[in-house]
Amino acid sequence: MAERITYYALVDSRSTRERPRTVLRRLETDEGNTDEMFSRDLTWESSPLLHGAEHGDTMFDFAEITEDEANEIVARIRAEAAQAE
Protein backbone atom coordinates (compact mmCIF):
# COMPACT_ATOMS: atom_id res chain seq x y z
CA MET A 1 0.00 0.00 0.00
CA ALA A 2 1.49 3.29 -1.07
CA GLU A 3 2.00 5.81 1.72
CA ARG A 4 2.15 8.69 -0.66
CA ILE A 5 1.21 9.14 -4.31
CA THR A 6 2.39 12.12 -6.34
CA TYR A 7 0.97 12.77 -9.80
CA TYR A 8 2.74 14.40 -12.72
CA ALA A 9 1.50 15.59 -16.09
CA LEU A 10 3.79 14.52 -18.93
CA VAL A 11 4.16 17.31 -21.49
CA ASP A 12 5.94 16.77 -24.80
CA SER A 13 6.32 19.12 -27.75
CA ARG A 14 2.89 18.15 -29.11
CA SER A 15 0.99 18.62 -25.85
CA THR A 16 0.56 21.32 -23.24
CA ARG A 17 0.39 21.70 -19.50
CA GLU A 18 -3.37 22.16 -19.87
CA ARG A 19 -3.73 19.14 -22.14
CA PRO A 20 -0.80 16.85 -21.35
CA ARG A 21 0.11 13.68 -23.19
CA THR A 22 -0.55 11.51 -20.14
CA VAL A 23 -0.05 11.16 -16.39
CA LEU A 24 2.66 9.53 -14.28
CA ARG A 25 2.42 8.73 -10.62
CA ARG A 26 5.11 8.02 -8.05
CA LEU A 27 4.12 5.55 -5.35
CA GLU A 28 6.22 5.88 -2.22
CA THR A 29 6.28 3.15 0.41
CA ASP A 30 8.62 2.04 3.18
CA GLU A 31 10.25 -0.30 0.69
CA GLY A 32 10.94 2.36 -1.92
CA ASN A 33 9.46 4.13 -4.90
CA THR A 34 7.69 2.91 -8.00
CA ASP A 35 6.83 5.08 -11.01
CA GLU A 36 3.88 4.28 -13.24
CA MET A 37 2.53 5.84 -16.40
CA PHE A 38 -1.05 5.71 -17.62
CA SER A 39 -0.35 3.89 -20.87
CA ARG A 40 -1.86 3.49 -24.30
CA ASP A 41 -3.36 0.21 -23.05
CA LEU A 42 -5.35 2.32 -20.55
CA THR A 43 -3.57 0.71 -17.61
CA TRP A 44 -0.96 1.92 -15.14
CA GLU A 45 2.40 0.40 -16.00
CA SER A 46 5.97 0.83 -14.81
CA SER A 47 7.83 3.65 -16.56
CA PRO A 48 11.39 5.02 -16.42
CA LEU A 49 10.49 8.42 -17.87
CA LEU A 50 10.32 10.34 -14.60
CA HIS A 51 13.71 8.98 -13.56
CA GLY A 52 15.07 10.13 -16.88
CA ALA A 53 14.00 13.69 -16.17
CA GLU A 54 15.56 13.52 -12.72
CA HIS A 55 18.81 12.46 -14.32
CA GLY A 56 18.94 15.33 -16.79
CA ASP A 57 16.81 14.04 -19.66
CA THR A 58 15.09 17.06 -21.21
CA MET A 59 12.79 15.06 -23.49
CA PHE A 60 9.68 15.84 -21.45
CA ASP A 61 8.49 18.36 -18.94
CA PHE A 62 6.80 17.02 -15.84
CA ALA A 63 4.44 19.20 -13.85
CA GLU A 64 3.20 18.06 -10.48
CA ILE A 65 -0.60 17.95 -10.43
CA THR A 66 -3.33 17.07 -7.99
CA GLU A 67 -5.09 13.72 -7.85
CA ASP A 68 -8.25 15.37 -9.22
CA GLU A 69 -6.34 16.79 -12.16
CA ALA A 70 -4.80 13.37 -12.78
CA ASN A 71 -8.22 11.75 -12.75
CA GLU A 72 -9.51 14.27 -15.28
CA ILE A 73 -6.63 13.53 -17.64
CA VAL A 74 -7.14 9.78 -17.30
CA ALA A 75 -10.84 10.20 -18.01
CA ARG A 76 -10.08 12.29 -21.09
CA ILE A 77 -7.63 9.67 -22.41
CA ARG A 78 -10.19 6.91 -21.85
CA ALA A 79 -12.84 8.90 -23.66
CA GLU A 80 -10.53 9.56 -26.63
CA ALA A 81 -9.65 5.87 -26.83
CA ALA A 82 -13.32 4.89 -26.76
CA GLN A 83 -14.07 7.41 -29.49
CA ALA A 84 -11.26 6.06 -31.66
CA GLU A 85 -12.61 2.50 -31.53
Binding site for other proteins (CB under 8 A): 10, 12-14, 17, 21-22, 29, 31-34, 37-40, 42, 45-49, 51-52, 54-60, 63, 65, 77, 80-81
Tell me the C-alpha to C-alpha distance, in Å, between residue 21 and each of 2, 4, 62: 24, 23, 10
CB of 46 to other proteins, least distance (A): 5
Instruction: Collapse the DSSP code of 73 into the 3-class scheme (helix H, G, I; strand E, B; otherwise coil) and give the result.
Output: helix
CB of 31 to other proteins, least distance (A): 5
DSSP designation for 18:
S
CB of 47 to other proteins, least distance (A): 7
Residue closer to other proteins by CB (options 5, 63) is 63
* CA angle, residues 47, 69, 73, in degrees to nearest 5: 60
Residue closer to other proteins by CB (options 4, 55) is 55
State the Cα–Cα distance between residues 9 and 21, nearest whole angstrom. Answer: 7
